[in-house]
Amino acid sequence: MPNALLSIAGWEAPITERSSPDAAPKAGAVPPLARDRAAAADAVLLGWAAAGDRLAFDQLATRHLPALYRIGLRITGSAAEAEEVAQEALLRAWRNAARFDPARGQVGTWLYSIASHAAIDRARRAAPLPLDAAPETADPAPDPEAALAARERQALLGAALRELPPRQRAALALSHDQGLSGAEAAAALSISTRALEGLLRRARFLLASRLRGILE
């Protein structure tokens, strides 16, 4: 990001976009104690953030940063892009905290929606990734042959996932990785549940066709 940055809770936001750590909350807001922030629900934290409590948003960011990163990684296939997606999602949420409507869903789903759309946009603009660009995962298998086979399967699965259109990857990320319900995942992608089911059905078919006989 081009502006001066202030890093907190594993994410970064431009100093110009944020209040000072010692700044008083907006009129009518009561600054919560640290223990209150840790125990507060997401919607409460976001409400405090909208009233000017930067530390409340830090707490919210800490909770959801790993999930936002995973969504970005699943959709873009790039660790660097996933970090950018998570940063972008949190920055947008910070800027729009006062606009969140709890009647329309949970804060987590709202954040996942922001991250999903950001990741889809990045994936559409990006060039196809080479096979060796997929991030490696640690393999606990002590047997070298088993470890090699596991890495090969992981590479094949990663390659197959990257062949899916970005929206299908997003549907898988929200429904399977994050465990959202059909209605929640559809809302996060701004589509109907029927459209989500279609994305998942096509994604599973393409994966099964690509991996038939390989992962059996």
d(CA 9, CA 57): 9
Q: Where are the alpha helices (DSSP H) in the chain?
A: 34-39, 42-50, 54-76, 79-95, 107-125, 144-163, 166-172, 182-188, 193-211
Q: Looking at the domain assignment, is residue 46 inside a domain? A: yes
Contacts of 127 (CB under 8 A, 6+ apart): none
Cα 79 to Cα 10, 69, 76, 84, 135: the distances in Å are: 15, 8, 8, 9, 7
Host domain of residue 85: 5-211
Q: Looking at the domain assignment, is residue 112 inside a domain? A: yes
Total tally of structural domains belonging to the chain = 1
CA angle (114 as vertex; 185, 205 as ends), nearest 5: 40
Q: Looking at the domain assignment, is residue 185 inside a domain? A: yes
The CATH number that applies at residue 72 is 1.10.1740.10
As a whole number, mean pLDDT of residues 46-62 equals 94
Name the token pair of 50.
């909208």
Cα torsion angle, 165, 170, 171, 177, sign: positive
d(CA 62, CA 9): 5
Task: Write the pLDDT tens digit of every residue in 22-41.
Answer: 444 444 455 577 778 888 99
Cα 3 to Cα 83, 94, 200: the distances in Å are: 17, 16, 39
Q: Looking at the domain assignment, is residue 115 inside a domain? A: yes
d(CA 82, CA 69): 5
Q: Looking at the domain assignment, is residue 20 inside a domain? A: yes
Q: Looking at the domain assignment, is residue 167 inside a domain? A: yes
Q: Looking at the domain assignment, is residue 100 inside a domain? A: yes
- Within 10 A of 66 (CB to CB), how many other CB atoms are there? 11
Confidence of residue 141 (pLDDT cuts 50, 70, 90): low
> Residue for token digits 């989500």?
196
As a whole number, mean pLDDT of residues 131-153 equals 58
Task: Write the pLDDT tens digit of every residue in 109-138.
Answer: 999 999 999 999 999 887 555 444 444 444
Cα torsion angle, 131, 138, 67, 25, sign: negative
Which pLDDT belongs to residue 50?
94
Nearest Cα neighbor of 196 from 177, 158, 170 is 170
Which pLDDT belongs to residue 30?
53
Confidence of residue 148 (pLDDT cuts 50, 70, 90): low
Mean pLDDT for all residues in the chain: 79
**What global pTM score does this model have?**
0.72
Q: Looking at the domain assignment, is residue 216 inside a domain? A: no
